[in-house]
Structure 1
């Protein structure tokens, strides 16, 4: 079976490190807001510290990863939405199962939307988190608004990340590509027909 290079080591490291930091943020947030988990874990001050520092470090893997030409190229691909992406979304919304009905380049439209939404949400979470952390720098109304946005966006992010994990669990070849960096030619032709490695 022919294998195609999909991700470099730097790209996989960036994804894994970001996933670990995001996982720490989500788990510590759950321990801070769900009373049963808070009682089970205890040590609230430690959980808060882990949450704050992992949130603050969240942009670091991507910033370090920008040294990789391959990661910069992929970010460029994720940032472009073409006609084939609109066709892909229409096919998904119509639940069209026909082969070739969902044309995609290296990333499909769903992956592009997810990446863009998550990047923007992470920046909003970072900003609102900083407003909540440095309480002496802002008026009470700003902190209250930041807390509201932070909490509701965190819940939404948890749901969307769970969907991302579910999609990954449903596609073993995509997971293999993220784990090893290579995917089968058959999978690439079926799922990403416009991708030219």
Structure 2
């Protein structure tokens, strides 16, 4: 059923066409949260590499400073998320990411079939892979923060040794690194998706091919007002 103007305002939808025939996919708050989180994650991983990889540690030096940067970049990772919560569009996307629909299972089955084209994979604003990635990375960040705090404040939970916390922290750090490499490779292979995250707008043909349920759910007349948030 097509969305009305009132339902658009309530759900915080971003499917709004502009005068060039493109559709608004992400609002300013969503893009800023993504960029800030990405920068903090990159800083955290680079500082970790300078602490644990011998040649890099010798090259960079200043180990206490690097350790401080690593600790505070890690503890700050949830900050962009918290600052983005006042945005209705951001909260609407969180609800989308937290909802696994029947067509998401169809998307996963299509992915497992070799030769399945993106157009054969039904997806809403976020496909099943993006939902799984978002849930996994959110959980991994929380575990990384918990184990990091246990190493930072060794007496926080006496029953858990620093060695155990360090083992889980290091193992999960490698897992996050490989997952982020895969995420980056996927992004590099999809220029239109990168454009949507950079400017907020994507082409209608791309949306119809990659996220057909998104347009169907929002309706053809959803949010026909002019763009009101130029690229920051």
TM value normalised by structure 2 = 0.82
Partner of 2:174: 155
CA distance in 2, matches of 1:99, 1:65: 30
Matched, 1:57 2:76: yes
Highest Rg: 1 or 2?
Answer: 2
**Equivalent residues in 2 for 1:139-154 (5 A)?**
139=158, 141-154=160-173
Q: What CA RMSD, in Å, does the superposition of the two structures yield over aligned residues?
A: 1.3
Matches within 5 A, 1:1-197: 2-98=21-117, 100-139=119-158, 141-196=160-215, 197=218
Residue 138 of structure 1 and its aligned partner are, at CA, apart by: 3.7
RCO (CA 8 Å, sep 6+): is it higher in 1 or 2? 2
Structure-1 residue corresponding to 2:224: none
Deviations 1:137-160 (A, max 9, x none): 343742111111100000000000
CA drift of 1:136 comes to 3.5
Which secondary structure state, in structure 1, belongs to the residue aligned with residue 213 of structure 2?
A: coil
CA distance in 2, matches of 1:167, 1:101: 18
**What is the CA-CA distance between 1:62 and the residue it aligns to?**
0.2
Residue 202 of structure 2: SS of its match in structure 1?
A: strand
Asked if 1 retains the 8 angstrom alpha-carbon contact of 2:118 and 2:210, the reply is no
Distance in 2 between the 1:189 and 1:119 partners?
Answer: 28
With normalisation by structure 1, the TM-score equals 0.96
**Displacement, 1:83?**
1.1
> Any idea what the Cα deviations from partners look like across 1:3-37, whole Å, max 9, x if unmatched?
00000000000000000000001111111111011
Higher helix share: 1
Q: Specify whether residues 140 and 165 from structure 1 end up closer, same or farther in structure 2 by C-alpha distance, changes over 3 A only.
A: same
Aligned-partner Cα distance in 1 for 2:118–2:173: 36
Instruction: Mark the runs of 5 or more structure 1 residues left unpaired by the alignment.
Output: none
Larger mean CA deviation between 151-160 and 127-136 belongs to 127-136
> What secondary structure sits across from 2:126 in the alignment?
coil
